[in-house]
Amino acid sequence: MRLFRRVKRVGLPPGTVQYVGQTVTQPIQVQTLAYGPETVVEKKDLSIEECLKVGDGAAVSWINVDGLHDTAALERLTSHFKIHPLVIEDIVNTSQRAKLEDYGGYLFIVIRMLDYDEEKQEVSSEQLSIVLGPNYVISFQEIPGDFFDPVRERIRSGKGRSRSSGPDYLAYMLIDTIIDHYFVVLDKISADIEEMEDELLEKPGRELLETIHGLRREMILLRRSVWPLREVVARLERAESPLIRPGLNLFLRDVYDHTVQVIEGIESFRDLLSGLQDLYLSTISTRANQVMKVLTVIATIFIPLTFLVGVYGMNFEYMPELKIWWAYPALWGVMGAVAGAMLVWFWRKGWM
Amino acid sequence: MRLFRRVKRVGLPPGTVQYVGQTVTQPIQVQTLAYGPETVVEKKDLSIEECLKVGDGAAVSWINVDGLHDTAALERLTSHFKIHPLVIEDIVNTSQRAKLEDYGGYLFIVIRMLDYDEEKQEVSSEQLSIVLGPNYVISFQEIPGDFFDPVRERIRSGKGRSRSSGPDYLAYMLIDTIIDHYFVVLDKISADIEEMEDELLEKPGRELLETIHGLRREMILLRRSVWPLREVVARLERAESPLIRPGLNLFLRDVYDHTVQVIEGIESFRDLLSGLQDLYLSTISTRANQVMKVLTVIATIFIPLTFLVGVYGMNFEYMPELKIWWAYPALWGVMGAVAGAMLVWFWRKGWM
Amino acid sequence: MRLFRRVKRVGLPPGTVQYVGQTVTQPIQVQTLAYGPETVVEKKDLSIEECLKVGDGAAVSWINVDGLHDTAALERLTSHFKIHPLVIEDIVNTSQRAKLEDYGGYLFIVIRMLDYDEEKQEVSSEQLSIVLGPNYVISFQEIPGDFFDPVRERIRSGKGRSRSSGPDYLAYMLIDTIIDHYFVVLDKISADIEEMEDELLEKPGRELLETIHGLRREMILLRRSVWPLREVVARLERAESPLIRPGLNLFLRDVYDHTVQVIEGIESFRDLLSGLQDLYLSTISTRANQVMKVLTVIATIFIPLTFLVGVYGMNFEYMPELKIWWAYPALWGVMGAVAGAMLVWFWRKGWM
Amino acid sequence: MRLFRRVKRVGLPPGTVQYVGQTVTQPIQVQTLAYGPETVVEKKDLSIEECLKVGDGAAVSWINVDGLHDTAALERLTSHFKIHPLVIEDIVNTSQRAKLEDYGGYLFIVIRMLDYDEEKQEVSSEQLSIVLGPNYVISFQEIPGDFFDPVRERIRSGKGRSRSSGPDYLAYMLIDTIIDHYFVVLDKISADIEEMEDELLEKPGRELLETIHGLRREMILLRRSVWPLREVVARLERAESPLIRPGLNLFLRDVYDHTVQVIEGIESFRDLLSGLQDLYLSTISTRANQVMKVLTVIATIFIPLTFLVGVYGMNFEYMPELKIWWAYPALWGVMGAVAGAMLVWFWRKGWM
Amino acid sequence: MRLFRRVKRVGLPPGTVQYVGQTVTQPIQVQTLAYGPETVVEKKDLSIEECLKVGDGAAVSWINVDGLHDTAALERLTSHFKIHPLVIEDIVNTSQRAKLEDYGGYLFIVIRMLDYDEEKQEVSSEQLSIVLGPNYVISFQEIPGDFFDPVRERIRSGKGRSRSSGPDYLAYMLIDTIIDHYFVVLDKISADIEEMEDELLEKPGRELLETIHGLRREMILLRRSVWPLREVVARLERAESPLIRPGLNLFLRDVYDHTVQVIEGIESFRDLLSGLQDLYLSTISTRANQVMKVLTVIATIFIPLTFLVGVYGMNFEYMPELKIWWAYPALWGVMGAVAGAMLVWFWRKGWM
């Protein structure tokens, strides 16, 4: 995840619609799904203009927009629905925090879709903007491809409450799906952390250290992404807007519980990773200490002995010991005694 | 404890009942206990269908379900009591946080039963779901075997208030028993921590480090399990629901006190374990420093001496010292003086 | 202080009176002090039965019970005063947090008496339970011996408000005395911390490390003991019960101030001890670095020189240098130059 | 950024206007911009006296003052607008926290303009004081040069709401511009942090350590600067003053969102930098351990061998081994075996 | 600053006036300043009895008492003004937290005066107690000498609002002066911190470590002193007492801002000092690593060479190499190659 995404509009008037993501050349793609208890009409690959006519008369129209680079087209769409320029600015400015804004006639919800790349151990994040009106839901994504196929399938098949409920239920289903996917992300991360715990005990190395650091970094950024979501869902649940119908709060309470669980998960991952880094440091210290003990034992045994044999390697003419026949074996005895005494001493100190 | 348990339902419609625990083949077992001030009727090993007829006319019916894998049977049970599908979803999805949900006609309480394996120093956790209705309590456990035998015995014997009170008192007794068992878990952990404190001062080793880390990890997860319980009990005590009768709040205040004591215990264990890890690191550093002092003292005394004896081991033809008869003993004197001066210096520095 | 004290009643019905402290054989001792503005009647070494008759007609009766092991006797006492079984359970279960419970006709206050053993540097803790009724105060202690003699003396002498006020003032005096004693405990601990600060700068050793760790541990447990007291006193000061007469809140505000000062003291001791441990680690690192510098300087100067003298100790037949008469003094010159260059280099690096 | 800026007025009466910044000799410069929906009148390089007449009759007058050293001139200006002496004191005392004060007839807003010097990796800070009256905005800057040219250009061109709105919209535009610039600052810092992450993995050195420390320091000070702004904008948004017209709160909510994003950014930078320092320490420890392993391997292999060859360099007359013809090659064999055994041992320990 | 100051009254009845500071023999000194819009009467070196008559008829009487050891005299003074015994107890018990107590007819304010000794790098603290009545202010100081001369001068000269306002304005001026002096203290500390930052990069040593630790300690204690002041000033500003006249809240808001700035300053100093200690540790580790690299490079190059020359210093009779005329120069070649290979290897590893 990127550390920080600059909102590129210093000094521009508020409401300026300027896309900050990657430049894409393919046109914006729109899919629509207009449905009621009885009917479903689905269209794909529409242009902005075509989608505006969709859904007249349907109970709920879901307009999903993939691609945000064609700001002129987006403005045509939003002006059709009388959406405030500040909303459009936030939609294309894809570095928003999760938020909920009540504009009276419609709610504007920003939520971040997360994915986890197990190879690079990086979390990626995409902004989903939802405009929830009295009989429509418009969702804006930066890149084609999402997790919403099960939602579409449920609407097509008409099972459960999906088709008999209003656009608030659709918005709920989208948010629920995204937060369910957070669990997948956390599940993958937890598997990585458990793997690192095992690796740390076996071979703590430089790469592992970098991996731990990298995951800690991701957790810091992930927390920043998910934290504001809690308030968004809590406010939805409190049903402050008439656009949220009474029966939905039971479901939103469920989503709120999941959000809290995700945040608690991230917090405990942060604690665990911080504990892992401490463990790494302690392990390195323990190992360094063992290495140093070996060095000290070997060196302190042999350094005095080497001195002794050096003494009798001197070429002084008058060294009486050199002439004594038992001096050589006696020296071996002395050296053995010195070495033995040292070994006993080290053993008592617990260094061996 | 597992780091994170994935809720396996990305994209499934809400209310989908899908069991996420281990797959078990034996059928679900149900025990019932229908009692009033005068009567007790106890039945065991019932099927779901049989238990539905139990308890008609009794003041309180307690239906305890062991095993959650047969979701169809569970749905028959809950539809009989008109329980919301979201509740059943949470019952079988056994990775819930502790929570209390008020559905009007009944309360849904989730609480985690904890146990501590002293061998592996791991906390295990099982979800207990309680549905508290006007004249029944249904409890759902994943695995047969629980701590509730004393509760059953009290009801059978009819001592105290147990049989003259309503289902809220039964629910209270179940929660109280579980939280009492938290004390057992914390007591065992505290014994382990005290043992580690002693071991740390005697022989700080790699295994101890791993044990400390492992317990810190368990504490992080334990805290996540117990923390939300505080609010659950507080809300029960505030008696927001008519299902909780007035006299019960004195008892629930007691349970609340215990919950707070458990949380404070976990917090102080976390602090203590973190302190132990610091102490471990400090101890290792102190030891490494002592090892290095020994190495340095030995090496710095003998390295210059070895140089000196090396000098007079050279084979130059013109080395006048070699011919002098007192040179050899004089060298010993010089070496003794050098070593002595060094020893004094080290002693002054406090290295010996 | 013990890490955690198990409440030994898993599965027992609530209200079960079971003593958890040490088993004592001597009988429970009761002292009574019945007084009014004009009269004082004091009795000692009563049995439970004898004390029940005491104080009829007196404005205030203070019954002090030393020893909690005879639960049957305690139940006779409390049933005489119509005290709820949950209260008695908490009295004998001497591991309660400080708490205040309002039972309508009487208040139940638990507070922990602390003492500090300067030898072992350990805080000891005893539970004092106070039942404050309309015209009586009953205090329960586990062990004979307390800090209340000045309170008794004040009542006997009848100075100040002590005898003209009601039982709430007596309860206040008991609490005030205990919290005053907290200051003594903190004062002793602060003296120990200051001593450790001095010792750390002079001779940081393994024992000091253990002492710091031990005190940190005590602080964690001490904090857990004192923290809930803040709310107890705050609630007393808010005078929610008619048992607390209006004039007392000025005095209770004073007690509240002291409690906050104690808590702040404990918090800053924790910070200071944590700082001391950091300082210890930094000191050890600094020392290790100095030791290593000495080793490095000595070793790196002499190792090359020893190599050089080793070269001219070889026995090759054709080593022309050996025959040159000025080679030996020249080698001394070379070695002096090498050593000098190294010394200059080390000096520049700031290692000497 | 400076650690702390002393408010130089100990003992001076409140309301004393004393400039604390650098002494400047050039006169104060004033620019005015008086505009309404139809007209724009812009004047530059005015003296204080000239600017007072500006803007009579215009819907909005913006008086921008560059330079605060001529306190007498400032007092003439503020007394003309009947501004409280405490306000003027705060304007010239350029070390204020961000704040909003409602004086009834006007609002006084202090906000800090930030800039980041990528060379020195230092954040610089300048105080902007805004007095927002019913039909005027007076802004005070310490140094000429600001980020407000886009705002001026928008007013001149009359695009959007800029000229048809009141002075509250102008104040909003100024605050919005400053907070937009915070994003630029954070963006530059995030680039520096990412660079440091890469550098840390490649060559962790002393300079990098100093850079990390310097940035952590800046983050602490930056946080202190930005944190109070959150409340300022929140209070503006709550529109407590009639000077803030109803329609503005949508825009201020946007500014509030940005402020929160900036604060979250700073917090996560702090976490990241703290993580980087941990990583640095761990990396250094890992490297030290590797260095020590190399030393230990080389030393422990050769020290025993050197001892052995020292033995046969002794000059004892009676050393039988010296006469045996196969002793020399045998010794090579022994030494090879010793070295080989050690290598195997090290390899098994994972040191090679 | 002392770690903890014991309140020396365990078991004494509440309201006991016992002085806990140093014992002083000189009598208590009182100065009075009675003034109104028109008149100022100033008296010095009064006894307690003389000062009681002062100020009859004056709008405001300021009685400043230096010295608290003569508790009997103080009690005469306070009983004249009908001040509660608990207040007098707090006045002489000079280890109070900052606090504000409303006794109906008068306010009792405790605030700590701070000073910083740049030599010892220690903060000293003195208690100032203020009793603010309807037409008088009594201030109590432990030691003669204060920062209030500018306040006295302002009253004498009658400039500004000083003489036309009531005693609440006088109390405000005293508090404001003290908090202004906090800025001086923080300013000096910030200079010391900046000096330490420079020193740390140049020569990190043991003394610097002690200085950092000492300042951290002072910050912990300083925080404890200043933190409660925030609430004191906030409550004054909320003007809960009729003794605080309406116009004063603007000035008190200013004081509140300064208090918050001081607290934020202390917090950031704590963070900075903690960062400095981390930096110190990292620097020591970096240096230790460099020292070790030098040792390792020198030792690992020369140890194998010394072994080699040791080999050819052996006295075996059958060592064919010794007879070969090119063996000696060849050995030099071999040794050069070994040393060169090692240097290349070290250079590649980045150790040189």
* pLDDT, tens digit (0-9, with 9 covering 90-100), for D250-299: 889 889 989 999 999 999 999 999 999 888 988 888 888 888 888 888 88
- Cβ-based neighbour number of residue A23 at 10 Å: 6
Distance in angstroms (rounded) separating the CA atoms of residues C263 and C250: 20
CB contact under 8 A, E288 and C292: yes
CB pairs under 8 A between D and E: 163
For residue B291, give the nearest of A278, A289, A310 by CB distance.
A289
Distance in Å, alpha carbon of B3 to nearest chain C alpha carbon: 26
Structure ipTM: 0.79
Nearest CB neighbour to B209, from listed A180, A253, A279: A279
Q: Which residue matches tokens 């990626």?
A: A124
Question: Distance from A60 to chain D by nearest Cα, in Å?
Answer: 28
Contact list, D315 vs chain A (CB under 8 Å) = 312-315, 319, 322
Q: What is the pLDDT of residue E7?
A: 52
From E147's Cα to the closest Cα of chain D, the distance in A is 8
Contact at 8 Å (CB) between C261 and E227?
Answer: no
Nearest CA in chain E to C298: E295
**Which of E281, E313, E324 minimises the CB distance to C314?**
E313
For the segment D197-214, the average pLDDT, to the nearest whole number, is: 86
Q: pLDDT value at position E171?
A: 94
The better pLDDT of the pair E95, A155 is held by: A155
Residue of D311, D323, D342 to mutate, interface with A, max A Cβ within 10 Å: D311
Q: How far is CA D141 from the centre of its chain?
A: 19
Helix axis angle for D85-92 and E249-311, nearest 10°, is: 20
Burial class (CB in 10 A: 0-12, 13-18, 19+), E135: middle
Alpha helices in C312-326 (DSSP H): none
CB-closest option in A6, A228, A331 to D183: A6
Furthest C-alpha separation in chain A = 121
Name the neighbours of C, counting chains with at least 3 Cβ pairs within 8 A. B, E
- Chain E residue closest to D274 (CA)? E275
- Would you state the pLDDT for residue E22? 63
Q: Is the CB of B285 less than 8 angstroms away from the CB of C288?
A: yes
Residue for token digits 């049957």? C72
CB distance B75 to B140 below 8 Å? no
How many CB pairs below 8 A link A and B? 161
For residue D25, give how far its alpha carbon lies from the nearest alpha carbon of chain E (Å): 27
Q: CA quadruple D87, D91, D93, D94: dihedral positive or negative?
A: positive
Radius of gyration in angstroms for the set of CA atoms belonging to chain D, rounded to a whole number: 34
The owner of tokens 């033809």 is: B317
Q: How many CA atoms lie within 13 Å of E328's alpha carbon, on the beta-carbon side?
A: 17
Q: Cα–Cα distance between D61 and D33 in angstroms, integer?
A: 6
DSSP 3-state assignment of A63? strand
* B70 pLDDT above the threshold of 60: yes
- Structure tokens of D65? 């003052």
Give tens-digit pLDDT for E183-211.
889 989 998 998 998 888 877 888 888 88
Q: Is the pLDDT of residue B10 over 60?
A: no
Task: State yes or no: pLDDT of E144 exceeds 80.
Answer: yes
The DSSP element (H or E) to which D191 belongs, if any, is: helix D167-202
Average pLDDT, chain A: 86
Residue B82, min C-alpha distance to chain C (Å) = 32
Q: Rounded to 5 degrees, what angle do the CA atoms C231, C233, C236 make?
A: 110
In the 3-class helix/strand/coil scheme, how is B201-263 assigned residue by residue?
HHCCCHHHHHHHHHHHHHHHHHHHHHHHHHHHHHHHHCCCCCCCCHHHHHHHHHHHHHHHHHH
Is residue D11's pLDDT more than 70? no
CA angle C39, C44, C48 (to 5 degrees): 105
Q: Do D180 and A287 lie within an 8 Å CB cutoff? A: no
Q: In this predicted structure, which of A154-163, A169-178, B30-39, E272-281 has the lowest mean pLDDT?
A: A154-163
Q: CA separation (Å) from E63 to B205, C53, E272, E281? A: 67, 56, 42, 53
Yes or no: say if B94 and B128 are a contact pair by the CB < 8 Å rule. no
Single-letter amino acid, residue A143: I
D151: tokens are: 């705002």
Instruction: Note whether A186 contacts B14, CB cutoff 8 Å.
Output: no
* Residue C201 and residue C280 in contact, taking contact as beta carbons nearer than 8 Å: no
Q: Would you state the pLDDT for residue A25?
A: 66
- What is residue D333's predicted lDDT score, i.e. its pLDDT? 94
Which pLDDT value is given to residue B29? Answer: 84
Using the beta-carbon criterion (under 8 Å), do B310 and C314 form an inter-chain contact?
Answer: no
Instruction: Identify the pLDDT of residue B55.
Output: 62
Q: What are phi and psi of E323, to 5 degrees?
A: -85, -20
| Strand partners of residue B141 | B66, B128
Of all residues in chain D, the one with the smallest CA distance to E350 is D203
Determine the Cα angle at C177 with ends C176 and C180, to 5°. Answer: 85
Whether residues D217 and E293 touch (CB distance < 8 A) is answered with no
Identify the residue whose tokens are 């365990």: E10
Residue-wise pLDDT for E8-24, tens only, equals 555 566 666 667 666 66
DSSP class per residue in D47-74: -HHHHHHTTTT-SEEEEEEE----HHHH
Residue range B306-331: mean pLDDT, rounded: 90
Q: Hey, which bits of A36-121 come out as E strands?
A: 40-46, 60-66, 99-102, 107-117
Min CA distance, C181 vs chain E (Å)? 6
- Average pLDDT, integer, range D177-186: 90
In this structure, are residues C244 and C168 in contact, taking their beta carbons and an 8 Å threshold? yes
Contact yes or no for A54/A63 (Cβ under 8 A): yes
Other beta carbons within 10 angstroms of residue E217's beta carbon come to: 24
Residue A207 has pLDDT above 90, yes or no: no
Q: Out of C258, C261, C315, whose CB is closest to E315?
A: C315
Contact in structure between E48 and E72 (CB atoms under 8 Å): no
Q: Go through chain A and tell me how many residues it has.
A: 352
* pLDDT reported for residue E143: 84
Q: Percentage of chain C surpassing pLDDT 70?
A: 92
Tell me which chain D residues have a C-beta less than 8 angstroms from the C-beta of A15. 160
Long-range contacts of E262-265 (CB under 8 A, 24+ apart): E262/E179, E262/E182, E262/E183, E262/E186, E262/E226, E263/E223, E263/E226, E263/E227, E263/E230, E264/D97, E264/D224, E265/D4, E265/E186, E265/E190
Domains and CATH numbers, chain D: 29-282 (3.30.460.20), 293-349 (1.20.58.340)
What are C274's two structure tokens?
Answer: 């944590």
Which chain A positions have a beta carbon within 8 Å of B4's beta carbon? 186-187, 189-190, 265, 269
Identify which of E279, E285, E293 has the shortest CB distance to residue D291: E293
The model's confidence at residue A37, banded by pLDDT at 50, 70 and 90, is confident
Contact yes or no for A10 and D261 at CB 8 A: no
Considering only CB atoms, D282 lies closest to which of A84, A103, A209, namely A209
- Percent of chain D past pLDDT 90, that is, above it, reads 30
Residue D263: its pLDDT value, please? 92
Q: How far apart are CA C32 and CA A217, in angstroms?
A: 65
Percent residues over pLDDT 70 in chain E:
92
The closest CB to that of D313, out of E253, E271, E310, belongs to E310
Q: E243 vs chain D: nearest CA distance in angstroms?
A: 20
Residue of E16, E103, E213, E227 to mutate, testing the C interface (most C Cβ within 10 Å of its Cβ): E213
The answer to whether the beta carbons of residues E21 and E142 sit under 8 Å apart is yes
**C93 three-state secondary structure:** coil
Q: Are A35 and A59 in contact (CB under 8 A)?
A: yes
Is residue C230 within 8 Å of C112, Cβ to Cβ?
A: no
Q: Name the token pair of C244.
A: 């607390």
| Rounded CA separation A194/A190 (Å) | 6
Other beta carbons less than 10 A from residue A332's beta carbon: 10
Checking if the pLDDT of C8 tops 60, the result is no
Alpha carbon of C322: minimum distance to chain B alpha carbons (Å): 4
All residues of chain D having their beta carbon less than 8 Å from the beta carbon of residue E269 are 3-4
- Calculate the average pLDDT of chain D: 86
- Residue E210's nearest CA partner among E221, E202, E200, E222 is E200
Choose the mutation target among D101, D213, D331 for the interface with E, i.e. most E CBs under 10 Å.
Answer: D213
| CB contact at 8 A, D142 and D67 | yes
In the chain, the amino acid numbered D21 is G
First to last CA, chain A: 48
d(Cα A6, Cα D184) in Å, to the nearest integer?
A: 7
**Average pLDDT of chain E, as a whole number:** 86
| CA C203 and chain centroid, separation | 25
| Residues paired with residue C100 on neighbouring β-strands, in sequence order | C109
- φ, ψ for residue B161 (rounded to 5)? -85, 0
pLDDT tens digits, one per residue of A219-266: 998 998 899 999 999 989 887 788 988 888 888 988 998 999 999 999
Phi, psi (5° rounding) for residue A128? -110, 120
Cα–Cα distance measured from residue D63 to residue D171, given in angstroms and rounded to the nearest whole number: 12
Distances (CA, A) of A204 to A284, A292, C98, C241: 8, 18, 46, 61
| Count of CB pairs separated by less than 8 Å, A with D | 165
Contacting subunits of B (3+ beta carbon pairs below 8 A): A, C
